[in-house]
């Protein structure tokens, strides 16, 4: 009888949940691509401890409840413990009870409103201290202090606006309008809002509109003849993907805060962009959501190599404290909160659909999802 340990070549099966269809596909499809690119790279380099990563992929069709249902199916029927997925905070909130009850691990590659911690989630997108604080400071320095909030009607915009309102007020500004639209809002739905914007004459529109509706918001703004040099739309979610969908001329001059833009330069990023374009087409830009979806799979693979197990209790400790040379620069999974220390950047969209960097942090900004250490002042420390 042999006493040799059995060596398995069974693949590592992981779950992937991003929408390929529906009103969020515009951006979630890019997260799916970033995820698959990283999996392909890892497998081409021999897999993890000699075993291939095999994704089990479902399309939740932009419906938050479907994310919860597919997460359950992945964990109960497909035997998956680790899931990469979710863009909207409402979809994350639908997956949360599933991974918490069944002790799974959700890897969440999207900026969000903060004020959440789960032992069953690794957060790799920005929290408000890594985007909203710097954005508010930049906008008040360059454009004025009267803000008009327009958001999609769900948890991220409402909570993100709560944080932004506090920042604006704490720094002597005011919110002159606040309105929410459906995920399915069309161009005509923005007409009365733009009329109200004209009457309120704010200095800045802060948009937390997501998905297809983003295109209609910016087009409606352009149709009203507003000038981004005077009153830009500022956002945490309008990436190169949304700018491409609305038209480069429509997006030009508007502002976004994010850890990553395609145009940040640097060798690691250039090589990432080249690989992405080779895989998906020359016209496909990268964006902050692709980048986070991509680097989190690489962090997972490094942790899995050490843990040699997909058991959340074994894998998670190997993830916490991980560092990675991501396209945006070096990042760290902060062990105190399982959020990621990320770079803060502010970009202004140009005529080529790229963001020119107008401000950036000198180093990664520590994740502080509960805004514990930052106070509300935007003045430089
Ligand atoms: C978001 O819903 N976290 C963008």
| Residue 260: closest CA among 242, 241, 283, 286 | 286
Whether 361 contacts 353, CB under 8 Å: no
| Residue 293: closest CA among 92, 38, 105 | 38
Residue range 265-289, pLDDT digits in tens: 999 999 999 999 999 999 999 999 9
As given in the structure block, the two tokens for residue 105 are 């691990």
Taking the CA atoms of residue 340, residue 85, residue 183 and residue 98 in that order, the dihedral angle to the nearest 10 degrees is -100
Q: How many domains does the chain have?
A: 2
pLDDT at 375: 57
CA distance 98 to 85: 13
Say yes or no: 206 and 350 in one domain.
yes
Kindly list the averaged pLDDT for each block of 10 residues, start to end, along the chain of length 381: 58 98 98 98 98 98 98 98 98 98 98 98 98 97 98 98 97 97 98 98 98 98 98 98 98 98 97 98 98 98 98 98 98 98 98 98 96 63 35
Ligand 1 atom having least distance to the Cα of 88: 2
pLDDT at 381: 35
Asked, for residue 200, whether it belongs to a domain, the answer is: yes
Say yes or no: 240 and 303 in one domain.
no
As given in the structure block, the two tokens for residue 349 are 């969209």
pLDDT at 373: 83
Nearest CA to ligand 1 atom 3: 112
The ligand 1 site (C-beta within 6 Å) comprises: 88-89, 110-112, 156, 210, 237
pLDDT at 361: 97
Residue range 155-183, pLDDT digits in tens: 999 999 999 999 999 999 999 999 999 99
pLDDT at 9: 83
Mutate to test the pocket of ligand 1, among 156, 158, 238 (most ligand atoms within 8 A of CB): 156
Say yes or no: 66 and 143 in one domain.
no
Say yes or no: 23 and 88 in one domain.
yes
Say yes or no: 55 and 147 in one domain.
no
Beta strands 355-360 and 345-349 are: antiparallel
Say yes or no: 258 and 277 in one domain.
no
Say yes or no: 22 and 106 in one domain.
yes
Ligand 1 atom having least distance to the Cα of 237: 4
Say yes or no: 157 and 221 in one domain.
yes
Question: 296 is in which domain, residue-wise?
Answer: 12-125+266-341
For residue 125, how far is its CA from the centre of ligand 1 (angstroms)? 9
Asked, for residue 370, whether it belongs to a domain, the answer is: no
């Amino acid at each position: 009888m042999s006493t040799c340990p059995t060596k398995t070549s069974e693949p590592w099966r992981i779950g992937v949940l991003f929408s390929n269809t529906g009103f969020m596909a515009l951006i979630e499809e890019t997260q799916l691509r970033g995820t698959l690119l990283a999996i392909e790279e890892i497998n081409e380099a021999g897999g993890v401890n000699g075993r291939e990563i095999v994704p089990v992929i479902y399309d939740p069709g932009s419906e938050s409840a479907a994310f919860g249902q597919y997460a359950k199916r992945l964990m109960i029927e497909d035997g998956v413990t680790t899931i990469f997925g979710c863009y909207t905070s409402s979809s994350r909130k639908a997956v949360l009870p599933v991974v918490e009850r069944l002790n799974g691990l959700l890897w969440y590659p999207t900026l969000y409103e903060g004020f959440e911690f789960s032992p069953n989630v690794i957060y790799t997108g920005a929290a408000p201290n890594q985007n909203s604080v710097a954005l508010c400071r930049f906008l008040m320095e360059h454009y004025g202090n009267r803000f008009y909030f327009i958001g999609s009607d769900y948890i991220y915009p409402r909570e993100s606006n709560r944080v932004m309102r506090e920042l604006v007020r704490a720094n002597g500004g005011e919110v002159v309008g606040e309105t929410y639209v459906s995920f399915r809002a069309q161009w005509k739905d923005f007409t009365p809002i733009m009329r109200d914007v004209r009457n309120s004459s704010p200095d800045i529109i802060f948009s937390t509109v997501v998905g297809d509706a983003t295109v209609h918001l910016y087009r409606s703004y352009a149709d009203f003849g507003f000038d981004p040099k005077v009153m830009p739309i500022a956002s945490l979610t309008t990436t190169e993907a949304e700018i491409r969908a609305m038209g480069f001329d429509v997006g030009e001059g508007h502002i976004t805060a994010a850890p990553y833009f395609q145009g940040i330069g640097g060798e690691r990023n250039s090589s990432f962009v080249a690989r992405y374009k080779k895989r998906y087409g020359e016209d496909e830009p990268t964006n902050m959501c692709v980048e986070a979806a991509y680097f989190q799979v690489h962090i997972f693979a490094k942790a899995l190599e050490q843990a040699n197990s997909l058991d959340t209790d074994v894998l998670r400790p190997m993830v916490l404290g991980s560092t990675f040379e991501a396209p945006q620069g070096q990042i760290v999974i902060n062990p105190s909160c399982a959020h990621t220390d990320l770079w803060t950047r502010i970009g202004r969209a140009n005529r080529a659909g790229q963001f020119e960097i107008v401000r950036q942090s000198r180093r990664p900004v520590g994740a502080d999802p509960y805004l514990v250490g930052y106070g509300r002042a935007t003045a430089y420390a």
